[in-house]
Structures are given as structure tokens and as C-alpha cells.
Amino acid sequence: MLLLCLGCGQKTNVNPGGNAYIKLTVAGKSWNSDGVAVIGISQTDGKHNLTISGRDEGFEGETSSFAAVFSSAAEITIGTYAVGASDPGVTLTKLNGKTYIGGGLARTSFVINITETSGSGSAKKLKGTFSGEMKGTAPGDVVTVTNGEFSSL
């Protein structure tokens, strides 16, 4: 649902070579994209947007999706970015059968650190790390994402 709105009418870098990846640990469980990852930059309404999205087809016996999206008035380059309240945020599905959200409207701390880039504009490739907290729907249902890594290089 989150990515459908962001993909409309925009030019986005999708790495068709199959070497893009996302991996993370959440609630002590390993999550790895199954060769299905989209990591890219787009520009809409004068803002630069980063999308990190993928799926793990065998996470807890189901297909789980992960997406992190944030925007910046300045070009997105090497540096540390906090996913803010005005950003779409972060989602993770199928953790204990539930969906968790972070950053954005969840108002949790979620940070993306870009450590390497190559290219420019919508062809820019990125590598980095991420971590933070995500909330479930029940009060007090909070999980921590650690060891997050992504790359489209």
C-alpha cells in the first residue's frame, strides 16, 4: 500500500541485475530479501525520496515485506537520516502474524545511514545500514530492528 502511492508517475531506480539486497534482524529473527529488492531515488514536488523495499518469502513460513521511505529537501547522499514524522516511514509485515510500522506517523526512532553511493539522479545506487523501533497495533507492542543492511551497488 505504501509503495503503490510513491511509484505513480515517478522515475525510480530499480536494480534489474538482481544483486540488490536487504537484510535485518528483528525481535531476534533474521530477515533477508530473496533477490527481490528495490532500492532507489526519485524526485517528486521538489523533494528527493529514498525507497528501500523487498520481501522475504520464507520469513516465519510466510512472505514478509519490508519498506522504508523518507524524503529530503536536499539531495540524498552519504550521511545519516532520521525517518521523520512527515515521512511515509517504515513497514514490516508478517512478524508474529502482524504488521509493524516505524518512523513516520508511528513516531518511533528509525535511522538510515548511507555509507556509499555511485551514480547520480534516478540512476544512483546506494549502500548503507539502518536500525530503529517499530510498533504493532497493540499498546506496548514494540520491536527493535538491528543489523539492517541494504545495497544496490
Q: pLDDT digits over 48-94, tens only?
A: 999 999 999 999 899 999 999 999 999 999 999 999 888 889 999 99
Distance of CA 136 to the CA centre of its chain: 17
pLDDT at 133: 94
Angle at 24 between CA 75 and CA 6, to 5 degrees: 40
CA angle 23, 71, 15 (to 5 degrees): 45
Which residues, at least 6 apart from 9, have a Cβ–Cβ distance to it below 8 Å? Answer: none
- Do residues 127 and 85 make contact, with C-beta atoms less than 8 angstroms apart? no
pTM: 0.84
Domain ranges of the chain: 19-151
C-alpha cell at position 128:
548503507
Compute the average pLDDT of residues 7-13: 36
For residues 9-19, average pLDDT = 44
